[in-house]
Amino acid sequence: MAELRASGAPLKLVQLEQVHLTLKFLGDTEEALVPRIVDAMRRSVAGVAPFTVRVAGTGAFPDLRRIRVLWVGLEGGEPLVGIARRLESETEPLGYPREGRDFSPHVTLARVKGGGNLDRARQVLEAHANDAYGEFPVDRIRLKKSVLTPQGPIYSTVEEVPL
């Protein structure tokens, strides 16, 4: 993160305490739907045992030539792909459309804000494309609420579902 910050690229870095993995973005949600969403979450993780993912590699969406989102990858995230796929199926009847792309386990580090030279940010991503940053256990998923502020979103946990 320090190298990205120092790159001079027009980036909005994610604050460390706000870093998370999004399995399914729901957007504006009626409070009355929360119990049904939590039930969908429970069904989506049914039979999935806790597992460990390795934080490794860096990249960008849609790609390094047209950077919009800078990310760090997650290896061993195959169970996350299955959970995300089931969440898509389980939340569609609740009015949440399917994503137009396959789920790719990652954690967003920064977003491009406006125009400007991204060459240095691209160099940082390429230099760390094969680096590993550690592991962490995945033993639950959370329904998060975000409140948008000028400083960035503030997340809070609405409900937690164990694996």
Q: Catalytic residues, which ones?
A: 20, 106
Peptide bond into 62 cis (omega under 30): yes
Q: Which two tokens stand for residue 32?
A: 């009355």
